[in-house]
Amino acid sequence: MIGWSGPASRVVSVALLSAGVFVGGCGSGPTSPDTRTGPITVDITCTPGGARVTTCTARVFCGLYGCLAGTPADATSTSTWRSDDPSVVRVVSAGVLEAVAPGNTVVRSSHPLAGEGSHAIAVFPDGAPTPTFVLAGTVYDGSDPGRPPLNGASIQVRSGVIAGRTATSGTEPPFVPGFWGPDGLIVAGTYEIFGVPSGSYRIRVSKPGYASQERDTNLTSLVGNDVVLQRQ
């Protein structure tokens, strides 16, 4: 009611009310508009359009209390766009990207009310800028009844545009722009391959003393990429 706390506030409040003094903000009187806001996220999605050009959109999503007045639901045309590495991808216009040379970078949009959104982007030979993600999973020792995580297994991609890319379970992956760098927090048995466009891939998992295994995975459908190896 009045900004004090503790027993003293109750004494003051009673005195004011008994004297017939109206205290603003109490009871059922007029209230101020709710100006609370929640977290704001910007979701960047990109679609390669051929001829080495890709078109992206920046959709805005607000938290529990909604957006501030004037915040657009689609900030594509009203954001400032940039590429972290213009030697890989350059921004032609709002949301329009052009491939320059093979490599990995990050594209970002910035809006005064919506804030910043970002997405990892890669250019492959003769291709348009392509959104990339992470191919990840865990390798387990199926010879042990407890199936503990298995470190030191080699994971090799055998098909698709990233054929030949490798990872080792339980080992930090190399840094790729748009993804976190080595931090020493790798979980036992896990592997991660960064900078992978959505699509279907065949992977081979092997480790000396264990039977190798090959499997197909589809990065567009959140299929688990966990593998269980058996001792030979």
Please name the fold of domain 133-229: Immunoglobulin-like (2.60.40)
Is it true that 40-131 and 133-229 share their CATH fold? yes
Provide the whole-model pTM: 0.77
* Distance (Å, whole) CA 196 – CA 215: 17
* Domain boundary assignment for the chain: 40-131, 133-229
pLDDT tens, residue by residue, 50-79 = 789 999 999 999 877 777 788 889 999 999
For the residues of 68-101, what is the DSSP string, one character each? PTT--SB-TTTSEEEES-TTTEEEEETTEEEE-S
- Look at residue 182 in the predicted model and tell me its pLDDT: 59
pLDDT tens, residue by residue, 135-159 = 999 999 999 999 999 999 999 999 9
Pick from 50, 181, 47: nearest CA to 107: 47
Q: Is 170 left (phi over 0), alpha (psi -120 to 50) or beta?
A: left
* Distance (Å, whole) CA 60 – CA 71: 8
- By three-state DSSP, how is residue 203 classified? strand
- Look at residue 35 in the predicted model and tell me its pLDDT: 58
Pick from 116, 112, 38: nearest CA to 71: 112
- Look at residue 32 in the predicted model and tell me its pLDDT: 55
- Look at residue 226 in the predicted model and tell me its pLDDT: 93
Please report which confidence band the pLDDT of residue 191 belongs to, taking 50, 70 and 90 as the band edges: very high
> Is 40-131 a CATH 2.60.40 domain?
yes
* Distance (Å, whole) CA 131 – CA 133: 7
- Look at residue 66 in the predicted model and tell me its pLDDT: 75
* Distance (Å, whole) CA 126 – CA 223: 29
